[in-house]
Amino acid sequence: MDINGNVDHHRDWASFPWIAMINFIANDLNAVDHVRFRSVCSQWRRHTQERQKAPFLILVDLDNRDDTIKTLSFFDIVGKAIIPLRPLASQRVANSYYLGSSRGWIFVGKYTAAQNGNQEQLRIALVNPFTDDIINLPMLSNHPGGRVFLLNSPRNLQSNSHFLIVVYYVDIDNNGQPTAQVNVIELRHENHWTTFLLDQRPNDVIVCDGQLCGNYLGALNLINTETQQLVNHLIFLLPGLLPALSSDPALFLRFFEDLHGRLHLLFTMSYRTSLYCFMGVTVMPLLEDVNVLQLIELILPGSDNFVSNRCLLISEDFSVVSPYGVQSVLINDFYPCRLLLRLSRFWNDGQNQWEPVGWITPDLL
């Protein structure tokens, strides 16, 4: 239509600069919306720039009265911006206990008050903050102080021939005593939890290659959820487990699982340049004649594994540094404290008392 109100039936829409318009819109979106925007169709994905490969840091503002979530947001470590949850996802996590994250999902739990003399129960929910999907699990009679782990992808529920295995691990019981309680459920095949105790209490637990493992002083022992036993003859080592190499007692800020369940480790490459890297790692058999540092060199050797598009380097000024040309990896520390301290100045807005609790990624690495 021209300025006189006449419709131009002969306009050549092929000449419309829609590529420029798509990029104009995409450049004005935050990191989460940018991922959603590129997933609309192949044309939009092809003509917009891919987000730099870094996970989002999960920030929570907890209620001081009961440690439930008041607010949960993401922090974009590349754009240095806080990204609030979408309204529906925000409603689903509010007033819940944070129980972990994995494969692009957040795990929360709500405590159900006792009725008619019955024991209080925990309702665990798996929430996808990027698609607003939710999976509610059956009630569990337990304290909400544990953590949730996935042994496979929630996408499996979309196929009638597959199931989802969820683990809820508790290391402190309802009476405040140390324990090693494993609760397992296979969604689709059963609608109840199976609970068992480990004979030896690990320092912590982690999922590697779809298998639940207990960390015993730096060595990983597989936990067979079917036989409900430790597989003592299968022992592995993962860099960053030993307290001697990290002052961080928790694994959830050093490791995270991407969308496909691949385990990634955040480590410091250089104190002088403050260079950080997220690197996919693989467990290796623990050999008696190979020490920890030698194993780390085997897992993160240098050019072949390091020079790839599967990692991101972050320098002190938070600009993305290309990994190409790097020939060796000098590992100084596995603790992300220095990175988080530098980032915290960007999320201290004076309105929320943000606490970092983990990493998440919708489409990463």
Rounded Cα–Cα distance for residues 163 and 184 (Å)? 13
Report which residue type is found at 286. Answer: L
Q: Give the 3-state secondary structure of residue 23.
A: helix
Question: Which of 146-155, 230-239, 321-330 has maximum average pLDDT?
Answer: 146-155
Residue of 267 and 165 predicted with greater confidence:
165
Phi, psi of 348 (to 5 degrees): -80, 85
What is the model's pLDDT at position 242?
61
Q: What angle do CA 14, 18, 22 make, to 5 degrees?
A: 160
Give the domain ranges of the chain: 19-51, 52-335+352-360
Per DSSP, 345 falls in state H
What's phi and psi for 309, nearest 5 deg? Answer: -90, 15
- Confidence class for position 59, pLDDT limits 50, 70, 90: very high
Query: Would you state the pLDDT for residue 192?
Result: 87
- pLDDT bucket at 271, cuts 50 / 70 / 90: low
pLDDT value at residue 364: 44
> Is residue 321 pLDDT above 80, yes or no?
no
- Residue pair 131/139 in contact (Cβ under 8 Å)? The answer is no
Indicate the pTM of the whole model. 0.81
Q: Tell me the pLDDT tens digit for each residue of 86-125.
A: 888 899 999 999 999 999 999 999 987 756 656 778 899 9
Each residue's pLDDT tens digit, 328-346: 445 566 667 777 877 888 8
Please state, in angstroms and rounded to a whole number, the distance separating the CA atoms of residues 307 and 277. Answer: 12
Whether residue 362 is predicted with pLDDT greater than 70 in this model: the reply is: yes
Average pLDDT over residues 35-40: 74
Position 57 pLDDT exceeds 50: yes
Check whether 269 has a pLDDT greater than 50.
yes
Percent of the chain at pLDDT above 90?
21
DSSP state letters, 158-211: GSTT--EEEEEEEEE-TTS-EEEEEEEEEETT-SS-EEEE-SS--SEEEEETTE
SS3 state of residue 304: helix
**Range in 47-56, 62-71, 212-221 the model is least confident about:** 47-56
Kindly report, residue by residue over 226-252, the tens digit of the pLDDT.
999 888 766 666 666 665 555 555 678
Q: 135-144, 257-266, 293-302: which has the minimum mean pLDDT?
A: 293-302
Mean pLDDT of 212-232: 85
Q: Which of 166-170, 262-266, 328-332 has the highest mean pLDDT?
A: 166-170
Average pLDDT of span 187-212: 87
CA torsion sign, 231 to 237 to 239 to 242? positive
Which run of H or of E encompasses 36?
A: helix 31-38
